[in-house]
Amino acid sequence: MADRIPFADLGALTRQVRCEVDRAWAEILDEGWFVRGPHVGQFEEQWAHFCGTDYALGVANGTDALTLTLRAMGVGRHDDVVVPANTFVATVEAVVLVGARPRFADVDPDTLLMTADTFRAAWTPRTKVVIPVHLFGQPVAMDALCDAADQRGVAVVEDAAQAHGATWRGRRVGSFGVAACFSFYPGKNLGAFGDGGAVVTSHAGIAAGIAGLRDHGRADGSRYDHTALGTNSRLDTVQAAVLSAKLPHLDDWNAQRRDVADAYQRLLAGTPVRWVPSRPEAEHVHHLAVVRVPARSWVQGALAEAGVESGIHYPVPCHRMAPYAGYAGGSLPEVERAAEEILSLPMFPGMTTAQVTRVCDLVVDAAERASELARVG
Ligand SMILES: *Cc1c(COP(=O)(O)O)cnc(C)c1O
């Protein structure tokens, strides 16, 4: 098939750091230090510096970053946690895993992000934490959300797993809440060669709590003094070395994603394919390129037939999933409407203008034909 266009291209990013990773790998084999060790501490320092926080704590994955943060904050059985319903399931899963009750918030109809208003509508007197998700790579309007949370005595924990390096009014995500959680799953904007995650915070108590919990509840510096019920959730040495090799490229890769997004936005203007817009205060890092289309499954089929990969993030909102439906408070019209229409188009650093143009030609043609059929039929 001519011109297959992949959804993402991890291989190209791997090639850019291959030499450096080979060198680090040789070093690690020579040292024979595979868990913890200097590479982990070095990456943690770099990541905290990049995010503008005092601490970064490497953990095994993004889901653990969320659960360990909530546990370190003492969130549990008697607490509610407000989350947007249109997120990757891990955000909600973490809340339930620590024994707390998720309260689902609706979202802004344009950006599809939680807002101060949708947070307030989901708030209860038991609400201890709100988790804004910087979905698709776009930061939530953090000044308004943090003000609303402050007014109600609610702590903000950012889920930044899709937004490495994004900024709101010039400030990096990760530095707004009391803590922020990142995933380094391979497909994320900063991805390891396996699973990985981190929590960033400037709160010394939360940092110390997570440092213990991720390592079997060990007291600081001790070997067999387990003072808390912990778990095993460490970022391993190899992944830390990979992340250190990739981090210097992150801003450039995000800038390339923005160029791709600009091309999409320009080419889709005035068509039935609606680009999910960003706010002028936000520097979006376009983890995903999301549009809204009529007759989605038909449009997606037309793309697939032409060799263009696409995805849906996410087809079922969390409050409609079996394990979490019991926590649903009622309908969430914007989340539910979006779930029927959203389609994620190919997006990766280095995607060419010719590729973007071809995707746009195909998706616009399919959407126009779908609209035409709807009019006639
Ligand atoms: C990827 C992701 C996570 C979970 O990260 P894992 O490393 O896969 O556990 C959490 N929240 C969001 C929004 C994500 O996209």
Q: Is residue 3 part of a domain?
A: no
The answer on 91 and 227 residing in a single domain is yes
Q: How many domains would you assign to the chain?
A: 2
Residue 36 within any structural domain of the chain? yes
Same domain? 150 vs 121:
yes
Range of the domain at 225: 10-248
Closest ligand 1 atom to 185 CA: 7
133 lines ligand 1 (CB under 6 A): yes
Question: Is residue 61 within 6 Å of ligand 1 at its C-beta?
Answer: yes
pLDDT of residue 2: 60
**Based on the domain organization, do 189 and 271 belong to the same domain?**
no
The residue whose C-alpha atom lies closest to atom 10 belonging to ligand 1 is 90
Q: Which of 83, 185, 312 to mutate to test the pocket of ligand 1 (most atoms within 8 A of CB)?
A: 185
- Residue 334 CA, distance from chain mean position: 20
Residue 275 is part of a domain; what is its CATH number?
A: 3.90.1150.10
* Sequential DSSP letters for 298-332: HHHHHHHHTTB--B-S-SS-GGGSTTTGGG--S--
| Residues in a beta bridge with 333 | none
Q: Is 158 in the pocket of ligand 1 (CB under 6 A)?
A: no
Same domain? 214 vs 78: yes
Is there a domain that residue 328 lies in? yes
| Domain stops at, among 216, 248, 280 | 248
Mean pLDDT of the chain: 96
**Is residue 237 lining ligand 1, measured as CB closer than 6 Å?**
no
pLDDT at 91 over 80: yes
| 310 touches ligand 1 (CB under 6 Å) | no
Closest protein CA for atom 6 of ligand 1: 62
Residue 161 beta carbon below 6 angstroms from any ligand 1 atom = yes
In angstroms, what is the C-alpha Rg of the chain? 21
Asked if residue 200 and residue 263 are part of one domain, the reply reads no
What does the pLDDT look like over 252-304, one tens digit per residue? 999 999 999 999 999 999 999 999 999 999 999 999 999 999 999 999 999 99
> Which of 218, 248, 278 marks a domain boundary?
248
Q: What is the model's pTM?
A: 0.97
The arithmetic mean of pLDDT across residues 142-153, rounded, is 98
Same domain for 75 and 24: yes
Bridge-based pairing state of the strands 171-172 and 155-159: unpaired
Q: Confirm whether 5 is domain-assigned.
A: no
